[in-house]
Amino acid sequence: MALCLAALLAAGSGLTGTSPAMAQAKKDTAVLAMSLEPPGLDPTAGAASAIGEVVLYNIFETLMKVGSDGSTTPLLAESWAVTPDLKNWSFTLRRGVAFHNGEPFNAAAVRFSFERAAEAGSRNKDRATFANIERFSQPDAHTLVLHLKNPNPDLLFQLGQATAVIVEPKSAATNATQPVGTGPFRLAQWQRGASITLERWDGHRNARNVALRRVQMRFISDAAAQVAALLSGDVDAFPRVSAARSLKQFQNNRRFQVLVGGSRAKTILALNHQRPPLNDVRVRRAIALAIDRAALIEGSADGFGVSIGSYYVPGAPGYVDTTAINPHDPARARALLKEAGVALPLQLSLKLPPVAYARQGGEIVAAMLAQVGITAKIENVEWAQWLSGVYGQKAYDLTLISHVEPLDFGNFARPNYYWGYESAEFKALWARIQATPDAAQRNALMGEAQRLVARDVVSVYLYQPTWLTVANARLQGLWKDAPLLVNDLAALRWQ
């Protein structure tokens, strides 16, 4: 593999060579790639971000749309209005919109989608957003008013996320494998373990402006294989590619464009509070003090990341720098373990999902923990195993994972969440945040929340990832920054 990759790198370094496929004047198909395959295609019933990467704004649509700059614009809604207390939101819906199966889109479908998301047994990871809806008003078939229990200044953004897609009531139960939405694309084929193919739906209201007729999304987890697929021309674009170490090869080649963008993601070392001695804040703090964030970013993300000290990132409203609360201090870490009465070496499991940042970062984290007397036994698991064992059964001590959702700070108040963190102080603070409509006051309270979860060391907060996208230079419309993990296929076109 090394020889083949080296040959491809050498062949791809010229500035004038192009493959026959790239020489075509116009194309109406494209091949994109993703690191992970989604476990299903219903974003309201699964936590994996890969689901939204395939379906959001492509198969399914939402009332609002989040742009690459984080702004929100109407999508299935034509307009909206809100009362000053941010508790009553009225949406005027688009007329003449249909689902892929021919059923009409209307206020009843929106209400069904939101009530379904709020149900007690809902698997929607943003259930709290919809459970905050106290009641609905439906003046007519294309107007819906949401009456909230608590004010929510983030509602428009939340209604543009994958968890807020509008589903067709009759087909909702089978969306995981046979998704039916109102979007500009439909599922054509799912070759398990290899690719998903979407085809343009000519019944879409904006179909004439969708340039691509067919898009295949391939799953390539290995970093070297990702680079090889791009250089060979087998893949036209790879958003969030693991190509940092090969980046100059692409930057110096006019066949390619390289986009370096920001994110709202948080890469953390999650700790299971339900397993002693991790229920002792001194032990959790010792683990945090053992980690050199700068060295970890360099080693696992090739320098593409920003250190964070809490579950919040620079650029988010109300961000405060908390990196000094738990600085790198191995000597203090060893002292805290001794103070907590921990017999060394402390044996802990470290489960790593199948993504490059976790596998590379996990090795570095284990080496850093060893320096303070903690032996982290690495267990590499597949994504389904991680979801069931870590997220579901909570059968882990440590795990390294990126949470990519931009508005998920409320996870600290969720009962029975996979961290096992139960704090009456945080829940009371979060309730105050939810009940505060004034943006400045809300941001100040968010600062308090960031400091609290840093002091409690709910997790070891590592870094904000920087996303890299490498693509054919002629493919236009790709997102640079990504407040959400989205592949907006309707925006793509060949130059």
- Lowest mean per-residue pLDDT among 55-59, 78-82, 154-158, 240-244: 240-244
- The predicted pLDDT at position 18 comes to 44
Q: How far apart are CA 346 and CA 352, in angstroms?
A: 19
237 closest CA partner among 439, 11, 409, 494: 494
Q: Lowest mean pLDDT: which of 5-14, 103-112, 366-375, 479-488?
A: 5-14
Averaged pLDDT for residues 123-151: 96
What is the model's pLDDT at position 276? 97
Partners of 348 in beta bridges: 376
> For residues 343 and 276, what is the distance between their CA atoms, to the nearest angstrom?
12
> What's residue 47's pLDDT?
82
User: Tokens in use for 297?
Assistant: 């970013």
Structure tokens at 238: 């790879």
Instruction: Give just the sign of the alpha carbon dihedral 38, 39, 45, 47.
Output: negative
Residue 71 region, left (φ>0) first, then alpha (ψ -120 to 50), else beta?
Answer: beta
Q: What's the count of helices (H) and strands (E) in the chain, helices before strands?
A: 14, 21
User: Encoding tokens for residue 178?
Assistant: 């046979």
Higher pLDDT, 434 or 138: 138
Q: Which tokens go with 480?
A: 């640079």
Residue 434: band (very low, low, confident or very high) from pLDDT cuts 50, 70, 90: confident
Mean pLDDT of 451-479: 97
Quick one: which of 410, 385, 374, 422 has its CA closest to 269? 374
What percent of the chain is predicted at pLDDT more than 90?
A: 86
> By percentage, how much of the chain surpasses pLDDT 70?
95
Between CA 12 and CA 334 the distance in angstroms is: 49
Average pLDDT, the chain: 93
pLDDT at 24 over 80: no
Structure tokens at 461: 């907060």
Specify burial of residue 80 (Cβ count, 10 A radius: 0-12, 13-18, 19+): middle
How large is the average pLDDT for residues 359-382? Answer: 97
Average pLDDT over residues 359-375: 97
Question: Is the pLDDT reported for residue 15 higher than 70?
Answer: no
d(CA 100, CA 183): 8
Residue burial 90-109, b: 16+ Cβ < 10 Å; e: rest: bbbbbeebebbeeeebbbeb
Strand-pair partners of 77: 93
pLDDT tens-place string over residues 273-306: 999 999 999 999 999 999 999 999 999 988 999 9
Q: H helices of 319-377, where? A: 330-339, 356-370
- Segment of 76-80, 314-318, 391-395, 481-485 carrying the highest mean pLDDT: 76-80
Q: Determine the longest span between alpha carbons in the chain, in angstroms.
A: 70
Q: Is the pLDDT of residue 2 over 60?
A: no
Domains in the chain, start-ordered, CATH in brackets? 28-42+183-262+467-494 (3.40.190.10), 60-174 (3.90.76.10), 266-465 (3.10.105.10)
**pLDDT band for position 262 (cuts 50, 70, 90):** confident
pLDDT at 25: 52
Q: Could you tell me if 108 and 142 are in contact, meaning their C-beta atoms sit under 8 angstroms apart?
A: no
Residue 1 has pLDDT above 70, yes or no: no
268 pLDDT more than 50: yes
pLDDT value at residue 447: 98
CA distance 312 to 465: 12
In this prediction the pTM is: 0.84
